[in-house]
Amino acid sequence: MALTKWVLDPTHSEVQFKVKHLVISTVTGTFKVFEGSLETENEDFSDAKISFSIDVNSIDTNQADRDGHLKSADFFDAVSFPTIDFASTSFTKTGDDTYSLTGDLTIHGNTKPVTLDVEHGGTATDFYGNLKAGFEVSGKISRKEFGLVWSGITEAGAIVVGDDIKLLINVQFAKQA
């Protein structure tokens, strides 16, 4: 079967993350600039090869001072490590519309294997005749495993930033001719 290439449609995609703040509430952020591709030989996307890259400087938590701190050397160090990158090592069908996505995630110069859950929303043709495929990717990673170890403790002893980062990524890919 022929290799089919799909390219991420950034106008119909989003990258969100959530992290605990002071252990009592959750801060949500997004990355506004990213790109990705998917290559497959199978109609059901099984065994697809997926690559994804995020521009760290596009982080947005709705608070400019916090965004600046996250871009600094205390966290992402966007000057030295301007991108977050992912390359799949497997994409395995686990149900009718579900998959397990495993790959190498690189953040802050540290590469670790991660496994994420994927739900395939289906395929559809848009108004311009382009075939699109939609996926929702979710999972959790430890920020400290990737070298994002800055931490603060309040006077009352509360941890300022949690370790677990929840990911929610909704992506739409366009099939290439």
CATH number of the domain bearing residue 73: 2.40.128.110
> Residue 73: CB partners within 8 Å, gap ≥ 6?
79, 80
Q: DSSP string spanning 118-136? A: EEEEEEEE-TTS-EEEEEE
Mean pLDDT on 125-149: 93
Q: State mean pLDDT over 112-126.
A: 97
pLDDT at position 158: 46
Q: Residue 1 pLDDT more than 70?
A: no
Q: Look at residue 128 and tell me whether its pLDDT is greater than 60.
A: yes
Angle at 51 between CA 48 and CA 57, to 5 degrees: 155
- Flag the least confident range among 51-65, 74-88, 112-126, 139-153: 139-153
Which pLDDT band holds residue 25 (cuts at 50, 70, 90)? confident
Model confidence at 92, pLDDT cuts 50, 70, 90, reads very high
Q: Whole-prediction pTM value?
A: 0.91
Question: Within its chain, how far is the Cα of 45 from the centroid?
Answer: 19
Q: Total structural domains in the chain? A: 1
Average pLDDT on 153-164 reads 61
DSSP 6: E
- Over residues 32-43, mean pLDDT: 95
The alpha-carbon radius of gyration of the chain (Å, integer) is 17
Instruction: Say what the pLDDT of residue 173 is.
Output: 97
What is the pLDDT confidence band of residue 156, given thresholds at 50, 70 and 90?
low
- Residue 120's pLDDT is 97
Tell me the residue range of the domain where 10 lies: 4-175
> Is residue 15 scored above 80 in pLDDT?
yes
- The residue ranking higher by pLDDT, 149 or 142, is 142
Tell me the pLDDT of the chain averaged across its residues.
91
